[in-house]
Amino acid sequence: MVTHEQQTEKTALIVEDDKAVLQLIRLYLAQAGYRILEAQDGVAGLRMALEESPDIVLLDLNLAGMDGIEVCKNVRSESDVPIIMVTARVEEDDRLTGLDLGADDYVSKPFSPRELVARVNAVLRRTQRNAENQKETGNHLTAGAVVIDLDRRSATVLGTEIDLTPTEFRLLSYFIEGRGRTVSRDQIIENVFGYDFSGYDRTVDTHVSNLRKKLESANPEGQHLKTMYGVGYRFDV
């Protein structure tokens, strides 16, 4: 007989070259009910992320063979699996690079194992909620020359597809759903990144700026995404 826990069991892939850290993460996630996959170098981690279809990836940056940045970049070219970077690199530029490549969260070493499990749970809840919201809103979102295909997770401007990271895709979907309404950074964090997001205002601004550049490059006359200084952002049609 299949239990409720077995039906809802999630698989976490841990890509970590420090055996002590790997064992610690494995212990706490297993206790939380996760099925565990693990890899100790970037090449093996990338292969498992693409072949084993985990529900979430916990990815160190300092890896042998292929570093975490390259692993993240390659995974994102093939998959929307949630990625949490777990690393000793604490510089803001490293955080922004990871987020720009499509990582969903960033945890710095040393970390609380219980907090890490909470982050994993929160990212998966957010991912599931976003998927459910997309199903409820239909297959497409349209705002002027911008069309989002929710099934294909793609966006076109004037009929030409633009290359968006998963975070930029979620941002654009959120802006279009609330078009004409000014939203604050706090609202963006809550609805796009999640209430437990531990980044900085600059992180939000960087994602918005990158999205604006791509939209304006595809349609220089359509400056839809506007900064409302001191308040937030608004997407006009």
Could you state, in order of their start, the residue ranges of all structural domains in the chain?
A: 4-132, 137-235
Tell me the chain's radius of gyration from C-alpha atoms: 18
Report the distance separating Cα 41 and Cα 94, nearest Å. Answer: 19
Report the distance separating Cα 206 and Cα 204, nearest Å. Answer: 5
Residues 55 and 165: beta-carbon distance below 8 Å: no
The reported pLDDT for the residue numbered 152 is 79
Residue with tokens 């994102």: 76
Task: Please give the CATH topology (third level) of the domain spanning 4-132.
Answer: Rossmann fold (3.40.50)
Which tens digits make up the pLDDT trace of 179-208?
888 988 888 888 887 655 555 557 788 888
What phi and psi, each to the nearest 5 degrees, are found at residue 161? -70, 140
CA atoms within 13 A on the CB side of 145: 16
Mean pLDDT of 85-104: 75
- Angle, helices 92-100 vs 68-76, to 10°: value is 20
Q: How many CB atoms lie within 10 A of CB 47?
A: 12
For the chain, give the mean pLDDT. Answer: 83
3-state secondary structure at position 176: helix
Q: What is the percent of the chain with per-residue pLDDT over 90, rounded to a whole number? A: 30
Q: Full-prediction pTM beyond 0.85?
A: no
* Position 141 confidence tier, pLDDT thresholds 50, 70, 90: confident
CA atoms within 13 A on the CB side of 222: 15
CATH class of 137-235: mainly alpha
Report the distance separating Cα 165 and Cα 207, nearest Å. Answer: 9
DSSP notation for 173-225: HHHHHTTTS-B-HHHHIIIII-TT----HHHHHHHHHHHHHHHHHH-TT---E
Containing 162, the helix (H) or strand (E) segment is strand 160-162
Inter-CA distances, 227 with 207, 213, 214, Å: 13, 13, 16
